Amino acid sequence: MSYLGDVAALAQKDLRLELRARDTLPAMLLFVLSTLVVFHFALPSGADEVAAQGLLWVALVFTALLGLARAWAPEREDGALDGLVLAPSDRSAIWLGKSAAVFVFLVAIELVALPAFALFFSPLDAGAVLGVLLANVGICAVGTLLAALAAASRTRELILPLLFLPLAIPLVVGGVGASVSPDAGRYLSFLGLYDAVFAILCWASFEYVVSE
């Protein structure tokens, strides 16, 4: 099987498991909608757009963190990660397939969350939506690697946020900037550069992470 075939097979495995178990997507959806509802009533009437966009990104990042915390659960619980590592394929395909599945989960959640945000706060323009999609790439690339790193630890629920949240700050800055700045292209370029740099770093380092 080709490299891309391995990636597709691994991503499809995760998607089929989620469709069968339905334990990650409902939790993510409930969390993000509950958070937006709370923010809607907590934010003062007439609050500026920057504050609203910041709250959106808080909701999206922590929802993604919830999904990432469960990303490696099937492999951890069934002991399947060792089998994947020993399979005759490039180990980076495991990271890419898992990242692709997490990306699909995030997009599925955002298909509901973004219209809900537009209803509660303000409509999103094309720059804001593109910023969300570009940030998704960075979240999946970095978060999947860090979730794999934390999966072997007994304190993985604590370690993953400590590792992930500092690296997610540039994504939040870029996403908010793409939503509210008149020069959205600069922030979108920043997000694209972040995605490219960290995707290469994560792709190159995943084999070392799972080997250790």
| 24-80 residue pLDDT tens | 889 999 999 999 999 888 877 666 778 888 889 999 999 999 999 888 877 776 666
pTM for this entry: 0.90
Q: Which position has the higher pLDDT, 17 or 175?
A: 175
CB 64, CB 139: distance < 8 Å: yes
* pLDDT tens profile 129-160: 999 999 999 999 999 999 988 877 778 788 99
What single-letter amino acid sits at 167?
A: L
pLDDT bucket at 1, cuts 50 / 70 / 90: low
Q: Which position has the higher pLDDT, 153 or 171?
A: 171
In the chain, where are the structural domains located? Answer: 3-211
Q: Both tokens of residue 142?
A: 């970095």
Q: Which position has the higher pLDDT, 84 or 31?
A: 31
Alpha carbon distances (Å) from 175 to 124, 132, 191, 207: 12, 6, 8, 30
The pLDDT assigned to 74 comes to: 72
Instruction: Return all residues near 64 (Cβ < 8 A) that are at least 6 apart.
Output: 102, 106, 136, 139, 143
DSSP 8-state assignment for residue 44? P
DSSP 8-state assignment for residue 80? H
Instruction: Return all residues near 110 (Cβ < 8 A) that are at least 6 apart.
Output: 60, 132, 136
Residue 188, pLDDT > 70, answer: yes
